[in-house]
Amino acid sequence: MRRSELVTLLKGSVLNGGGPTTFVDELEGGGGQGWYRAWLRFELDFVLGTGSGAKTDEPELSIIKGITLRSDKNEYFVNAQSGRAMYDWARRKMGRAPRKDAFAAATAKYYTTIPLLFADDELARAEDTIIDTGRYESMTLQVVMGGVSDLLTTVGTSTVAFKVWLVAERTTGRLIESQLPIRYVSYDSSPSIDLTAQTVVKLDRGDGIRIKRLLIYSGSGGSVGVPFSGVPVNTIIETVEMEDTIAFPVREQVFDLLQDKNSAEYALETAPVGRGYLDFMLVDENGSLFSSYDTAKQAKVDLNFTIKAGAPANPIVSVGVEQIRELVGAAA
């Protein structure tokens, strides 16, 4: 049985609108505890004024432009990921959607909770990818927020202010030898593409990079190069397959059927609109970290897409990646 505690490290800390806010000392890096997960709670304190027209692209998520969590060894546990991407990872891995107050064009406080998941309870040894803070002198959290124009079609005199809470779910003391990580998890994504102009997403590859899971997102009216933008829809992707130098690790999958499969396998309440997951960890019932896909020695690792007939304008596709990487400075 693991002994863990919940520790509030940020409590209603003010976030800058329209740019980044960085926290270092508050994260208590170097303490030696292991982080299983971290809970982020965002507050949007909105005053309507003369503005109008709530946007329809899940603005309570799209206004969270970037979340980065890294160590002083430049291990990026979360690498500039949007609120929508990390919310979707949490939904898949926890089996239900976290809290998300749907934004309306009305004066109120809106709250969104986004768990950041490091240890993996689906593994035989969850601590394989726990964050060992004893390896570091410091850890850094950076959050980038948008502004009123991300919430409303007409800004007027509307205003919004932001706060964040961070609760670390961590071991009560220093990690013991049997709990030490052997790799670290890194959430990343590829630049989005317009599926009418490009049908291939190239994934990072190289020695020490393994892929656990892929998160595929489709949205209308988004921006090329901006991951997870636009309004999520199911009317864009017809099929997806994965191709490397040697073969097809994932043969052509009908995206609608993949979504149905995801919903059943992960016991999701409903199939999320515009989202699908490719999961390499399901192939090993013993829960080995090394059932993940190894990108080493591959000249290419591509996702190939086909587009549905009648797809909307600006059909954007984004791919999030849950990778595992080698610990910096650790013995091979």
pLDDT tens, residue by residue, 72-129: 999 999 999 999 999 999 999 888 899 999 999 999 999 999 999 999 988 889 999 9
Residues 302 and 321: their CA atoms lie apart, in Å, by: 12
Predicted local distance difference test score (pLDDT) of residue 285: 66
Residues 177 and 210: their CA atoms lie apart, in Å, by: 24
Predicted local distance difference test score (pLDDT) of residue 331: 56
Q: Which two three-digit tokens encode residue 79? A: 């690498």
CA atoms within 13 A on the CB side of 183: 20
In words, the CATH class of domain 188-332 is mainly beta
Q: How far is CA 2 from the centre of its chain?
A: 26
Q: Which two three-digit tokens encode residue 53? A: 């027209």
CA nearest neighbour of 120 among 133, 111, 112, 129: 129
User: pLDDT tens digits, residue range 158-191?
Assistant: 999 999 999 999 999 899 888 899 999 999 999 9
- Residue segments in the chain with a per-residue pLDDT below the cut of 50: 1
User: pLDDT tens digits, residue range 111-125?
Assistant: 999 999 999 988 889
Residues 86 and 247: their CA atoms lie apart, in Å, by: 30
Residue range(s) in the chain whose domain bears CATH number 2.70.9.30: 1-182
What mean pLDDT is reported for the chain? 94
Q: How far is CA 4 from the centre of its chain?
A: 24
Predicted local distance difference test score (pLDDT) of residue 295: 96
Residue range(s) in the chain whose domain bears CATH number 2.60.120.730: 188-332
CATH 3.30.450.20 fits 1-182, yes or no: no
Residues 272 and 262: their CA atoms lie apart, in Å, by: 9
